[in-house]
Amino acid sequence: MSSRTPLMAGNWKMNLNHLEAIAHVQKLAFALADKDYEAVEVAVLPPFTDIRSVQTLVDGDKLKIKYGAQDISAHDSGAFTGEISGPMLAKLKCAYVAIGHSERRQYHGEDEAVCNAKVKAAFKHGITPILCVGEGLDVRKAGNQVAHTLAQVDGALEGVPAEQAETIVIAYEPVWAIGTGEVATPEDAQEVCGAIRGRLAELYSQELADKVRIQYGGSVKSGNVAAIMAQPDVDGALIGGAALDADEFVKIVRFRD
Ligand code: PEP
């Protein structure tokens, strides 16, 4: 049994305004306000406009729910209209930031160099990156999912020192499974998550690789999460659609119940 604490993170994408966000987090807090979920870390990644409201609620009520952002600028400040910087997210006490989500890669052209710069920006400001990697359907059909995903890991970690890399979270999210209802089999998830851990051992050390949490993401629901979490190299889930339904998200978090 691994000593890694599972991380269940809800990626709200561009959903829920700040008032809806407060109501949603209150529901989560109420449903998780007992000891049972202490062995699982819970985080929400709301849109930027909600983060201050979530922070006020979480800090004010001393909730154990963590929160973070869905993206970060590679730059600290300056003429980058529309972007949000690491110092701004750090000021809001964001614990996590998703980097390289497939929707950022697809719609905003984020490549390995951009992801690498964003990973470094997050670490610079004390925010833990949730690095999203994973193959599209064509790559999967060609059987190249492992090589493709490991190349994304290599690119994003270029020049990242071990003392930072050991705290990163990596989310394996096959693009064909995101928002499609088409979940990877537990064996598919294990194949690539295991390969990612192997690559971390090659890049750094086995000791470091054993510390890093690797999530699976892609149509995770309460009905499929337990089988995925039973895999030895899966340490949590990044949850999109199902995280918008507080009751369903709580069921996912309580996958051991
Ligand atoms: C995601 O957006 O990271 C995701 C995994 O979405 P979904 O759970 O809806 O597939």
pLDDT tens track for 195-204? 999 999 999 9
Question: How far is Cα 257 from Cα 255, in angstroms, rounded to an integer?
Answer: 6
Reading the block at residue 19, the tokens are: 């008032």
Question: How far is Cα 17 from Cα 160, in angstroms, rounded to an integer?
Answer: 35
Q: Is the CB of 182 under 6 A from ligand 1?
A: no
Burial class of residue 209 in the structure, from the number of CB atoms within 10 Å of its CB (0-12 exposed, 13-18 middle, 19+ buried): buried
H/E stretch holding 45: strand 41-45
Give the pLDDT band of residue 90 (cuts 50, 70, 90).
very high
**Could you tell me if 4 and 211 are in contact, meaning their C-beta atoms sit under 8 angstroms apart?**
yes
Give the pLDDT band of residue 35 (cuts 50, 70, 90).
low
Whether residue 37 has pLDDT greater than 80: no
List the domains of the chain with CATH numbers.
7-253 (3.20.20.70)
Buried/exposed 93-106: b ≥16 CB within 10 Å, e otherwise: ebbbbbbbbbbbbe
Reading the block at residue 186, the tokens are: 């537990």
Catalytic residues: 101, 173
Task: Tell me which of 5-14, 27-36, 114-123, 224-233 is least confident.
Answer: 27-36
What residue's CA is closest to ligand 1, atom 2? Answer: 240
Helix (H, G, I), strand (E, B) or coil at 164: helix
Atom of ligand 1 nearest to the CA of 180: 10
Question: How far is Cα 236 from Cα 217, in angstroms, rounded to an integer?
Answer: 9
Provide the 8-state DSSP code for 44. Answer: E
Q: Is the CB of 179 under 6 A from ligand 1?
A: yes
Q: How many angstroms does the Cα of residue 180 sit away from the middle of ligand 1?
A: 9
* Reported pTM: 0.97
| Complex ipTM over 0.95 | yes
Question: How far is Cα 69 from Cα 228, in angstroms, rounded to an integer?
Answer: 25
